[in-house]
């Protein structure tokens, strides 16, 4: 097929998208279910008339959102990267928003080139529910001791076996991960938990959040985290926070690939 005017001759594209995860069964394609990867692949395939495979920086679970999900795909031809956002904006559903697109070399991989990911969890602490926040936050009415939550969070920083903080059925055999930072930030009736690391296990940030909320409520000691880690058992940690409060906030690559995708 010949290249039409205004089209590139293809190559690898890095695309950054945001999405509201409420009506998706997660990021990864699943037969017969609406997923972010599936919608992106279907849209690109219909646009170009050839099968396009999309690779993401990581999977988000059903109901989890993304401010900065990074994907890459290889185009045989198509719109130049600087026009791709405009083209996709008119074709993607309203709950997926393309942010930026760039040409990258073939060594770049949306997942395997990542050096750091940051998730943000939004806790709303108002007395009454907020109709403008319920889709993107966990409403916790009871008072939270943020100082104790931050103290507990400090025990999670570093390289640990996070078996206690992931789904019991998580497929990864190696449960060791490195966490660079866990911060709990207050802003009026809101509290935001930021968790940065080299990679995460299934439900890991949600279980970390749920456990820290249990600490804030006084149900778990702030200094119990090292023992919970050592137990290597899911039942030792606290609850799993709801999916809808979680957002993939940022992804960072080596400087050669542009570093941090979005400003924090």
**Does the residue 256 lie in any domain?**
no
Domain end, chosen from 89, 112, 135, is at 112
Q: What is the pTM of this model?
A: 0.92
Residue pLDDT tens, the chain, 264 long: 334 444 455 799 999 999 999 999 999 999 999 999 999 999 999 999 999 999 999 999 999 999 999 999 999 887 888 899 999 999 999 999 999 999 999 999 999 999 999 999 999 999 999 999 999 999 999 999 999 999 999 999 999 999 999 988 777 778 999 999 999 999 999 999 999 999 999 999 999 999 999 999 999 999 999 999 999 999 999 999 999 999 999 999 999 998 999 886
**Both 96 and 162 in a single domain?**
no
**Both 82 and 168 in a single domain?**
no
Domain end, chosen from 79, 112, 145, is at 112
How far is residue 197's CA from residue 167's CA, in Å, rounded to a whole number?
A: 18
**Both 192 and 124 in a single domain?**
yes
Domain end, chosen from 71, 94, 112, is at 112
**Euclidean distance between the first and final Cα of the chain, in Å?**
42
How far is residue 129's CA from residue 16's CA, in Å, rounded to a whole number?
A: 32
**Both 71 and 123 in a single domain?**
no
**Does the residue 262 lie in any domain?**
no
**Both 106 and 127 in a single domain?**
no
Q: How far is CA 261 from CA 49, 175, 207, in A?
A: 29, 26, 26
| Domain boundaries, position 244 | 116-250
**Both 205 and 122 in a single domain?**
yes
Is the separation of the CB atoms in 141 and 127 below 8 Å? yes
Per-residue buried b or exposed e for 209-219, using 16+ beta carbons within 10 Å of the residue's own CB: bbbbbbbbbee
Domain count of the fold of the chain: 2
Report the C-alpha dihedral over residues 79, 85, 87, 92, rounded to 10 degrees. Answer: 130
* Domain of residue 86, CATH code: 3.30.70.580
Residue 188: predicted pLDDT: 94
**Both 121 and 97 in a single domain?**
no
For residue 156, give the nearest of 219, 237, 60 by alpha carbon. Answer: 237
**Does the residue 164 lie in any domain?**
yes
The residues carrying an active-site annotation are 61
Residue 180: predicted pLDDT: 97
**Both 150 and 200 in a single domain?**
yes
For residue 244, give the nearest of 62, 35, 64, 58 by alpha carbon. Answer: 64
**Both 74 and 199 in a single domain?**
no
**Does the residue 128 lie in any domain?**
yes
**Does the residue 58 lie in any domain?**
yes
**Both 120 and 245 in a single domain?**
yes
**Both 45 and 166 in a single domain?**
no
Residue 4: predicted pLDDT: 45
* Domain of residue 219, CATH code: 3.30.70.660
Structure tokens at 260: 């941090």
**Does the residue 6 lie in any domain?**
no
**Does the residue 219 lie in any domain?**
yes
**Both 40 and 126 in a single domain?**
no
**Does the residue 80 lie in any domain?**
yes
Q: Is 119 annotated as a binding residue?
A: yes
């Amino acid at each position: 097929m010949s290249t039409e005017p205004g089209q590139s001759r293809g190559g690898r594209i890095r695309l950054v998208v945001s999405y509201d995860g409420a009506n998706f069964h997660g990021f990864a394609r699943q037969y017969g279910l609406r997923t972010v990867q599936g919608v992106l692949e279907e849209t690109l395939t219909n646009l170009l008339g050839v099968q396009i495979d999309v690779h993401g920086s990581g999977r988000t679970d059903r109901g989890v959102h993304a401010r900065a999900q990074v994907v890459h795909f290889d185009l045989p031809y198509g719109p130049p990267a600087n026009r791709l956002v405009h083209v996709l904006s008119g074709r993607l559903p309203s709950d997926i928003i393309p942010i930026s697109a760039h040409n990258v070399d073939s060594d770049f991989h949306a997942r395997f080139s990542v050096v750091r990911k940051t998730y943000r969890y939004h806790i709303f602490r108002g007395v009454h529910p907020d109709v403008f926040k319920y889709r993107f936050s966990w409403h916790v009415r009871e008072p939270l001791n943020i100082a104790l939550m931050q103290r507990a969070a400090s025990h999670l920083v570093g390289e640990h076996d996070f078996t206690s903080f992931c789904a019991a059925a998580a497929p990864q055999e190696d449960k060791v991960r490195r966490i660079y930072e866990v911060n709990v930030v207050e802003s009026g009736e809101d509290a935001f938990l930021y968790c940065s690391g080299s990679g995460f296990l299934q439900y890991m940030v949600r279980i970390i959040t749920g456990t820290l909320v249990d600490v804030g409520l006084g149900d778990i000691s702030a200094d119990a985290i090292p023992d919970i880690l050592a137990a290597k058992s899911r039942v030792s940690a606290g609850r799993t926070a709801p999916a809808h409060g979680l957002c993939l906030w940022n992804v960072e690559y080596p400087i050669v690939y542009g570093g941090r995708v979005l400003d924090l």
